[in-house]
Amino acid sequence: RRWFPPADFFIFQMSGTWLTYGPLLIVIGIDLFCTKTQVMYEPGDYGQYVRGGSGDGAWYVWTIRDEAYLAEAYSQGYLVKPDWITFDARWNSSTGDPIGQGGLQDFELKSQHTGSMLRYLCPIPGLATMIVFLFLVAYGNRRRVEVIRTRGKSLQDEAEEEGRPNEQEAAVEAGQRVADGQQRQ
């Protein structure tokens, strides 16, 4: 029982198409890595929190600037006290006043974060583009090989009909004549 495909399965041929569009495929992959960072973004991972609810200022992202507070909430860059990194932990939700002096240093960004699950759909166009690209290049290469084989056969058939040797045989004959000429001298 064979576990791996035959060796001729792994043949790779670099054509002009790969040279032209290969770097584009790499750039799309890099963009997908960037998209991953954006899709997986959670404010708590970066010392930020969101003011939830509705009305003015809802879903805006706030950044904590109190480094001593952040040092207690995080250990080696990982959030260990998630309940400390919330709007309710930093502000009194009924009065809107900050809890302690640290809340006064926090600043509101113009960015909003709703935590919508639709964000996981963002990478789909990039992944689809890569898959379609690979399919089109593979199909194009196969089609190109078929056309070359067909043309080669038709040229060979045409040469046989006209009674002239095909190009490969003509090259061998020419090489033989040159070799014969050099031997005579």
pLDDT tens column, 71-113? 999 999 999 999 999 999 999 888 888 988 888 899 999 988 8
Please tell me whether residue 116 adopts helix, strand or coil conformation: coil
pTM score > 0.75 for this model? Answer: no
Other beta carbons within 10 angstroms of residue 51's beta carbon come to 21
What are the tokens at 129? 């583009």
pLDDT class for 137, splitting at 50, 70, 90? confident
pLDDT: is 13 or 166 the higher one?
A: 13
Q: Which of 23-27, 123-127, 147-151 has the lowest mean pLDDT?
A: 147-151
Alpha-carbon distance of 20 to 136, in angstroms, equals 14
The pLDDT value recorded for residue 49 is: 95
